[in-house]
């Protein structure tokens, strides 16, 4: 109550001073008004790039129509996410495993797996390889906030000491 009210009073919203040049402002306004263009990320942390939306879609479909991915209907995808959530909860189980996994870790896994179950999927996007002679893309399937993200983070934490000792 009072703590958060007092904290909010310390942070007053105000408009920041821009460090953009006038031509950069004009370019940003032009991009905002032309929805046929979008800003994509580039590979090797080379910054953003502008690409026509139609081209981005064509580039993404090249990857998605390969043998790497399987097309699922929305219903099939949601059913698979529910099944996977059930497998994760079944793995956590009770009894011996609960003694092997700490109470706080179990809470973390249960809480975040449940929370991520509301929007269980990762996100697919492209990184443009602007450093190559011919423009190509790198597909990325982001796991952040997906149904498998909490258990993946937990496994990573558990394996770090093993990896460092090897």
User: What pLDDT shows up at residue 101?
Assistant: 84
Q: Digits of tens for pLDDT over the chain (166 positions)?
A: 899 888 888 888 888 899 999 999 999 999 999 999 999 999 999 999 999 999 999 999 999 998 988 999 999 999 999 999 999 998 888 655 666 788 899 999 999 999 999 999 999 999 999 999 999 999 999 999 999 999 999 999 999 999 999 9
User: What pLDDT shows up at residue 94?
Assistant: 61
User: What pLDDT shows up at residue 84?
Assistant: 95
Continuous segment of H or E residues that includes residue 125: strand 123-129
User: What pLDDT shows up at residue 100?
Assistant: 75
Sheet holding 123-129, edge to edge: 48-52, 37-42, 123-129, 136-142
Compute the CA torsion angle 49, 53, 58, 64 (nearest 10 deg). Answer: 80
Cα separation of 20 and 67, whole Å? Answer: 44
User: What pLDDT shows up at residue 160?
Assistant: 96
User: What pLDDT shows up at residue 9?
Assistant: 85
């Amino acid at each position: 109550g009072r703590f958060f009210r007092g904290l909010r009073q310390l942070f007053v919203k105000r408009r920041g001073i821009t460090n953009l040049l006038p031509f950069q402002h004009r370019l940003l306004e032009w991009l905002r008004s032309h929805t046929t263009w979008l800003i994509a990320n580039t590979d090797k942390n080379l910054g953003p790039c502008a690409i026509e939306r139609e081209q981005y879609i064509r580039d993404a479909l090249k990857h998605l129509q390969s043998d790497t991915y399987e097309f699922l209907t929305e219903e099939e995808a949601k059913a698979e996410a529910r099944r996977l959530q059930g497998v994760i909860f079944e793995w956590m189980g009770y009894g011996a495993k609960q003694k092997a996994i700490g109470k706080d870790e179990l809470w973390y896994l249960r809480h975040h797996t449940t929370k991520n179950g509301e929007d269980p999927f990762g996100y697919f996007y492209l990184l443009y390889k602007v450093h190559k002679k011919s423009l190509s893309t790198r597909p990325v399937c982001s796991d952040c906030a997906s149904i498998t993200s909490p258990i993946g983070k937990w496994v990573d934490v558990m394996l770090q000491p093993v990896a460092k000792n090897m």
